[in-house]
Structure 1
Amino acid sequence: MARPALEVADILNAHGDAYERAHAGRLSRGQMKVMSAIRSCRMVVLGGHVSRCADCAHVEIVYNSCRNRHCPKCQGATARDWLAARQAELLPVPYYHLVFTLPTAIGAIAYQNKAAVYDLFFKASAETLATIAADPRHLGARIGVTTVLHTWGSALTHHPHIHAVVPGGGLSADGTRWIVGRSRFFLPVRVLSRLFRRLFLDGLPALHAAGRLAFFGDLDPLAETAAFDAMLAPLCRAEWVVYAKRPFAGPAAVLTYLSRYTHRVAISNSRLLAMDARGVTFRWKDYRARAKASGNGWIKAMTLPADEFIRRFLLHVLPDGFHRIRHYGLFASAVCAANIDRIRALLVDQQVRASPEGAPPAEEKRPEATLRCRCCAGIMTIIETFARGSVPKIWLASASIRIDTS
């Protein structure tokens, strides 16, 4: 893959030192760590390996990636590995996509208390789906849910929301039947919204009472219980946004979606347009103008001063060890494999009974991924590895080696 003309690493290398000096003492350890990792990603300081094509003898030097989950260059391989595992768990049923969003007032609290509030966010959204799905008036079944946390809007503003991917059905309470959901929609959005609001607003005061929330700057008065309760009062009556998208067009579309969303970072290098004296220019989507705009008129360019661009980028650094992809219900890690096997057996049995031939469809074999030569598509083999800050020995023997820093 060709290296983008401009990368987040280029912006941090050009303006990162000045940003750190201007905000000394106000950056978290995690934010400093992310900046350092991205700046050194795919650079000689991290070491790397040398690969040679078995067919045309083409040689490439590839520097190691930083593997930081906030780095735009490092998520491709991680996403592929994660997707391979999810592919093995995919069920031959329709899938649905729902989005849970926090009100702006809660988002401000979440930013100052990421671990506690985002954890509550995950639990409230998952419990909402499981509770409504278990209700006989809706589905009457136990479901599995895969959830992904995103904290950004297209303009890099703080906009926490959770994407939930759910199979269109669930196991009966006794585990003997697969119950198929409605074809047009999975669960009623208004009912989901009301329960989600109640669960979240029950959990947030509990965090406050337990002393697990901290408040700084403009939010400092919320440390007092009375002020905190007064802030929450209007939210108990407001409509909370739960959005249900159209069902996916088959299981393959689920994998395509997950490959775009699970390991996405706040901004990809492909969205960056320019860095100059005015600042950093990047593409963003103005969703409010989407209905009125013709064609791609709602996709616009925004220019921010470099300091503001870096500030917005660092808004989305998550605490160390925080999992932003989580599985619940039938897909919880401890029971996932057994539940997947059970569901597949039930689905095969249903297909056998419903099929005139009385046999399940053959499984599609998927090709294995192999590192290929960019010159002749031959198989690339690693012939040397080198440590951080070192120069590969083969470098000295040839001047025609391609160095991959993409």
Structure 2
Amino acid sequence: MRGFKTIKKQPTQPQYEVADVLNVLGSRLEDLGLNSWQLRTLSALKKCRTSALGGHIDACDECGNISISYNSCRNRHCPKCQSKNREQWIENRETELLPVPYFHVVFTLPDVLNKTALHEPKMLYDFLFESAWETLQTFGKNRGLKMGMIAVLHTWGQNLSLHPHLHCIVPGGGVDESGTWKNLRSDGKFLFPVKALSKVFRAKFCEKLKHQLSLKLNENQREKFTENEAGNYEKLRQSLWEKPWVVYAKKPFGSSKSVVEYLGRYTHKIAISNGRIRGIDDKTVTFDYKDYRQKGIKKQMVLSHEEFIRRFAMHILPKRFVKIRHYGFLSSTWKRIKLKNLQQKLGIQPKEKLPPKVFQPKCSCCKVGNLVTIATFDLRGPPQWFLEMSQSQPTPKK
């Protein structure tokens, strides 16, 4: 490492952040009626990459520049902490690819379930995952095939409204009882009829809701579950049968590798990225969104601080909730035992999973060297020697 040169704080981008809204909102956050887990999550986002979480001092091994960086919160809802996890996830999935057609299928819940999603998110989102998989499984079994699926939960629309849906990557075929791969069609251009998928998906979900109602009406919980609540559940279930449900299937991907890169855009997304926030003043937040009712035209929305955070908090998932799930022959159990054999049968050499890459940030000064951590500090701030070194640096001329 060459001699120390200058001292810089790492640049921060973009200009506005969700954390800025939280800072402006201040103690008013407690008046929004959020639960303790949501408040805890928002607190982590507010502290992310600030002195409250401590930090580290890095030196460039090429130009000697010294920079200071604050630690990340690593919360999965944080707009600043997703890129590293996404890259690692993509690398892991690339070792599991098969040379077969893949389809992007989206399962969407109707908006009449939004109220239930707010009050019982874990139950509803579990039902969504289970119903989607059981739907595909039903169609696969009719062909004598074991299907596979990777599903990612999103709960938001572009304007931060509640819009629960699953993005699923589904191989266009399955494995028969002998472990042999079979395409659903020889040309690979067809998965299943979406209208039929929608009807089966609705039936599966409504059946789970009906079963949940019967559980709530058992003798152990009868006193807690009033007749009025039972009637509301039944009305909800009936209204679900009257509404058309949406299942959307896109055309197959061009190559199997593009599948993972495509899904990688969805896996670690959050309700809104900092880059979409265009302005924050003392009362409102302005952000970009796409209006898909008008062919994806870009628009801007202005919300009060309270409404912006209230909408953002709707998409904070329950504690320990798994938002990316693997099913069928893409499940972890099946992959550990049989995936390599299937890849060999399909004529590709199985790839071994590489150990996680050590993240090596580049120097923002020379753009060439790697940053090496030379000291860490807690919320009390940088060590004395660093402060003295900072003060001794000459002020750059303008």
TM-score (norm 1): 0.84
Cross-structure match for 1:305 = 304
**Equivalent pairs, count:** 371
**C-alpha distance in structure 1 between counterparts of 2:17 and 2:229, whole Å:** 44
| Residue of structure 2 aligned with 1:102, choices 102, 109, 117 | 109
Residues 281-312 of structure 1: CA distance to partner in whole angstroms, max 9, x if unpaired? 0001110011xxxxx7x110010111111111
How far is 1:91 from its partner? 2.5
Letter in 1 for 2:236: M
Cross-structure match for 1:19 = 29
- Contact kept in structure 1, 2:209 and 2:237, CA below 8 Å: no
Residues 243-295 of structure 1: CA distance to partner in whole angstroms, max 9, x if unpaired? 112222212322222221111111000000001245100001110011xxxxx
How far is 1:74 from its partner? 1.1
Cross-structure match for 1:386 = 377
- The structure-2 alpha-carbon separation of the partners of 1:389 and 1:133, relative to structure 1 and needing over 3 Å to count, comes to farther
| Residue of structure 1 aligned with 2:286, choices 281, 300, 312 | 281
Cross-structure match for 1:170 = 174
| Residue of structure 2 aligned with 1:260, choices 261, 265, 268 | 265
- Contact kept in structure 2, 1:147 and 1:163, CA below 8 Å: yes
- Contact kept in structure 2, 1:278 and 1:303, CA below 8 Å: no
| Residue of structure 2 aligned with 1:241, choices 237, 246, 264 | 246
How far is 1:2 from its partner? 4.7
1:29-178 superposed matches below 5 A: 29-136=36-143, 140-175=144-179, 177-178=180-181
- Contact kept in structure 2, 1:148 and 1:262, CA below 8 Å: yes
Does residue 321 of structure 1 match 2:320?
A: yes
- Contact kept in structure 1, 2:55 and 2:377, CA below 8 Å: yes
How far is 1:156 from its partner? 0.3
How far is 1:337 from its partner? 2.3
- The structure-2 alpha-carbon separation of the partners of 1:103 and 1:362, relative to structure 1 and needing over 3 Å to count, comes to closer
Unmatched segments (≥5 aa) in structure 2: 1-10, 218-224, 394-398
- The structure-2 alpha-carbon separation of the partners of 1:394 and 1:193, relative to structure 1 and needing over 3 Å to count, comes to farther
SS at match of 1:378: coil
- The structure-2 alpha-carbon separation of the partners of 1:249 and 1:342, relative to structure 1 and needing over 3 Å to count, comes to same
Residues 175-199 of structure 1: CA distance to partner in whole angstroms, max 9, x if unpaired? 1x11123322222211211111111
Unmatched segments (≥5 aa) in structure 1: 213-219, 291-295, 352-359, 402-406
User: Which range moves more in the overlay, 42-51 or 64-73?
Assistant: 42-51
How far is 1:38 from its partner? 0.7
Cross-structure match for 1:355 = none
**C-alpha distance in structure 1 between counterparts of 2:227 and 2:271, whole Å:** 29
Residues 82-138 of structure 1: CA distance to partner in whole angstroms, max 9, x if unpaired? 2222222222332211100111112221221011111111111011112212222xx
Does residue 200 of structure 1 match 2:210?
A: no
